[in-house]
Amino acid sequence: MSQQVRVRFAPSPTGYLHVGGARTALFNWLYARKTGGTFVLRIEDTDVERSTQESVDGLLRDMKWLGMTWDEGPEVGGPHGPYYQSQRLEIYQKYARRLLDNGAAYPCFCKEEELEAKRQKAEEEHRSLHYDGTCRSLAKEEVERRIAAGETYVVRVRVPEKDYVLEDLVRGRVEWKSETLGDFIVLRSSGMPVYNFCVVVDDADMEITHVVRAEEHLTNTHRQLILYEALGIKPPIFAHASLILGEDKSKLSKRHGATAVGQYAEDGFLREAMINFLALLGWNDGTDREIYNVAELTECFSLERISKSPGVFDHNKLIWMNGQHLRALTVDQLLPLVLPFLKKAMPDDARLDNPEVLRKLVELIQIKMNTLLDAVPVAESILRASQPEDEESIALVSTEKSKVLFAALAKEFTTCEWVKDGYNAAIKAAGKTAEAKGKDLFMAIRARITGSCHGPELVGILDVLGREEVIKRLNS
């Protein structure tokens, strides 16, 4: 096996890429990038009934959005392909033949109805539900005769009468007793391989050195260690990361705010924030630090710092973290990210095609944003002239004093210099004319111009809208 680190992410394309799967991918990707190793993407699509091309496309799209590019796998190829399990059936057959030839596996001709009857009897007698080994010691001649006669059979592995121990990088020492497992199937009567067999064959064939996956796969490891031994292959190093729980400490689900990774992109989250958030779901560098960029995470990451304790998914923290990353961007970095959201909401607004106006707008609303989507209502409140609707704003624009104020300000704005000092001088002069100040001055003007007495800095709004549009709104 190669000494270079080789890790893999092996999703099943039966749905979207969820938070748990994305975190598993991230831990593998970070470890590969930290060590200069290879990150392999493998699609486990042998569940023909549930696997879909739509899910495959979604997985690849979401991985690309997160920036977790793979060194080997779909679309990029590599020396250990194919990278779809459905295209590797001949390879599984070859390894199954190897097990049969070395005596580590045997054909089992037991019918399903026979096995079901034995299972029911074992339950009634409160015995373990292991395969009883009926076909384990069949003579070679009988096996050949029954196969020649066309009898269907599965291939079972002989489970040795010995205990197995795993030194897991996260869980520590894990032990399995010999009596906890009976001879298990690796190849169905249809010739299709079972999950654990596929995983072992693929990891061995692809020279995977470290298997980093979720804790829920720990129960599979007993069978996989037996298969590695039966094939005469050294197993990889295992690291089973803790589960991700909701804030109520129950299994993570949509009701906790978790959703498809692709949905976060549509909801205006930054890939850097998602990477930051996912990394801290069950890992830390030993400090209280919370905000990292991808380069910093790569530098800090180690498998040994993955926690045994479950990570807790806090949607509000994700929003906060996204806001931190978003406000750390320069305007030049933010502009191309936020523009598609603004264009979608206001497709006919030509001002979004004006670089100067757009830049001023983004500078103004960046401080108010926790997601890119947050830019839309703020931008709409500025760019779209609307009548006040809330009681406070209506009251502020409906007084006789406010009418005098708006008329005076429109006049002042007609001749003032259109810069910050000019705005302030004009507002001060109009306020003096209308005998308005404080709330009756600044909030009333904002309410008339934007429809709300609350929002971004008034001077910034004037800068975005321009002289002609502001005077038009004051006179409306």
Task: Give the C-alpha distances (Å, rounded to integers) separating 412 from 56, 61, 417, 466.
Answer: 61, 54, 10, 14
Alpha-carbon distance of 307 to 70, in angstroms, equals 25
Alpha-carbon distance of 31 to 211, in angstroms, equals 11
On whether the CB atoms of residues 85 and 44 are closer than 8 A, the answer is yes
| Of 140, 212, 137, 139, nearest in space to 171 by CA | 212
On whether the CB atoms of residues 50 and 96 are closer than 8 A, the answer is no
Active site residues: 254
26 Cβ contact partners less than 8 Å away, ≥ 6 residues apart: 66, 68, 275, 278, 279
Read off the tokens for 452. 């709300």
Distance of CA 214 to the CA centre of its chain: 14
Alpha-carbon distance of 283 to 301, in angstroms, equals 8
Q: Three-state secondary structure along 353-387?
A: HCHHHHHHHHHHHHHHCCCHHHHHHHHHHHHCCCC
> Residue 82 phi/psi, 5° resolution?
-70, 160
Size of the chain, expressed as the number of residues it contains: 476
- Residue 49 has a CB neighbour count (10 Å cut-off) of 6
CB burial readout 296-328, b (16+ within 10 A) else e: ebbebbebeebeeebbbbbeeebbebbbebbee
Alpha-carbon distance of 159 to 262, in angstroms, equals 42
471 Cβ contact partners less than 8 Å away, ≥ 6 residues apart: 410, 413, 414
Q: Three-state secondary structure along 257-322?
A: CCCCHHHHHHCCCCHHHHHHHHHCCCECCCCCCCCCCHHHHHHHCCHHHECCCCEECCHHHHHHHH
On whether the CB atoms of residues 171 and 218 are closer than 8 A, the answer is yes
> Helix or strand or coil: residue 160?
coil
- Residue 356 has a CB neighbour count (10 Å cut-off) of 11
